[in-house]
Amino acid sequence: MAHIKVPEGVPGIRSLVMFRPETGVYLYDLAQVLLRGESTLLPAERELIAAYVSHRNNCIFCRNSHAAAARCLYNEEAFIVDDVLQDMQQSAVSDKLKALLTIAGKVQVSGKSVTKEDIELAKRLGADDREIHDTVLIAATFCMFNRYVDGLASFTPVQEEAYVDMGKRMAEKGYVLPAQKV
């Protein structure tokens, strides 16, 4: 049960932005720009960064929902998502994405954990300044989102199948503020 009175049965951050849509609109706009806006990183890769950071933060709702979205976006290569969450270094993603995920993982611990060497390696593997910037911002944003969801004890479905439709909606429609329940 959530720590505050939010719409019953509405999972995760959706219930929180419905509680306070005047702030939620900015959170959803930020997610839309970062995860679906113009980028040389694929939407699947950006969703994977969000899921990876959420996994490291042990935020079950954000991990499961963004992993579900990434699986939808990866299509036939959906297995990549679970591989990364189990062992990123042994996964089938590119070395460039591994370097970006390493940076995201360090941001999850502390922004100051990211080293010049981490950035140089990502650049040597093909990441440009925009991709590095967006990776850091996605990681930092999801640390905030994870703490928002968990700090208010938002409803988190435990059944894995509950996330399939969420992931599909997120993959197809992006991040649109939910309608208000009256």
CB 70 within 8 A of CB 170: no
59 located within any domain: yes
* Strand stretches in the chain, DSSP E: none
Cα angle value 62/36/153 (rounded, 5°): 20
Which residue in 155, 164, 148, 147 sits closest to 67, CA to CA? Answer: 164
Q: List pLDDT tens digits, range 56-109.
A: 999 999 999 999 999 999 999 999 999 999 999 999 999 999 999 999 999 999
62 located within any domain: yes
CATH of residue 163 = 1.20.1290.10
43 located within any domain: yes
> Rounded to the nearest 10 degrees, how much is the dihedral formed by the CA atoms of 78, 84, 87, 91?
70
Residue 180 pLDDT level (bands cut at 50, 70, 90): low
4 located within any domain: no
Q: List pLDDT tens digits, range 24-60.
A: 999 999 999 999 999 999 999 999 999 999 999 999 9
99 located within any domain: yes
Which residue in 127, 147, 64 sits closest to 139, CA to CA? Answer: 147
- With a cut of 70, say whether residue 15 has pLDDT above it: yes
Q: Provide the 8-state DSSP code for 40.
A: S
1 located within any domain: no
Domain that holds residue 112: 12-173
Residue 41: CB partners within 8 Å, gap ≥ 6?
Answer: 100, 131, 134, 135
Mean pLDDT along residues 148-156 = 97
Number of domains in the chain: 1
75 located within any domain: yes
167 located within any domain: yes
Give 76-81's long-range contacts (Cβ < 8 A, gap of 24+).
80/48, 81/48, 81/51
